[in-house]
Amino acid sequence: MGMASGGWSEDDDSALSEINITPLVDVAMVLLIIFMITAPMMVQGVDVRLPETRPMSRLPPNAVYLTVTAEGEVLLNDVTVSLDDLEERLVPFASVPGQAAYVRGDKDVPHGTVVRVMEAARLAGLTNIAIITTPVPERN
């Protein structure tokens, strides 16, 4: 009869206990998929209080002003231009460093027209483009 070493041996008839991690991995994968699907939905429902700002007291006199009237007419610094020629007419303004362009669009003009004016300014090289709006009156 030999001495037992106290460890496991191949001829030992006792059961070997191992943890099966396959169900754990399955549960983790299901939870990961659920969180990946629901996370974008949770972002849309977040209530954010945006900071309030005062309207600008004056607009800069050296800026480029692009106006879209209710009739769809486009003006560059109070001079009527066609939408097709607008990009070409804005190129000289883009060479001035830090040149700003302010877009004023009538509220009755289709949104696409104002976007096309902004795109023409961007394609001409103006990167500082802002939209002028009427400030909401303060409530007392």
Strands (E) in the chain, as ranges, are 64-68, 74-76, 79-81, 100-105, 128-132
Residue 45 maps to a domain = no
Residue 76 maps to a domain = yes
**pLDDT of 102 over the 60 cut:** yes
Residue 121 maps to a domain = yes
Average pLDDT over residues 95-118: 83
**pLDDT of 140 over the 70 cut:** no
pLDDT at 32: 94
DSSP 8-state assignment for residue 96: S
Number of structural domains (the chain) is: 1
Residue 87 maps to a domain = yes
Residue 5 maps to a domain = no
CA distance 137 to 101: 25
pLDDT at 29: 95
Residue 74 maps to a domain = yes
Identify the band that residue 45 occupies on the pLDDT scale cut at 50, 70 and 90.
Answer: very low
Closest CA to 104 of 140, 138, 76: 76
Average pLDDT over residues 34-55: 64
Domain containing 122 equals: 64-132
Least confident of 20-24, 59-63, 121-125: 59-63
DSSP-based three-state secondary structure for 14 = coil
CA distance 61 to 132: 14
Residue 99 maps to a domain = yes
Identify the band that residue 28 occupies on the pLDDT scale cut at 50, 70 and 90.
Answer: very high
Give the CATH number of the domain where residue 92 resides.
3.30.420.270
Does the pTM surpass 0.75? The reply is no
Average pLDDT over residues 5-32: 76
Closest CA to 120 of 79, 71, 69, 68: 68
Strand partners, 76: 66, 79
DSSP 8-state assignment for residue 99: -
Identify the band that residue 60 occupies on the pLDDT scale cut at 50, 70 and 90.
Answer: confident
Q: 65 is written with which tokens? A: 């002003």
Residue 93 maps to a domain = yes
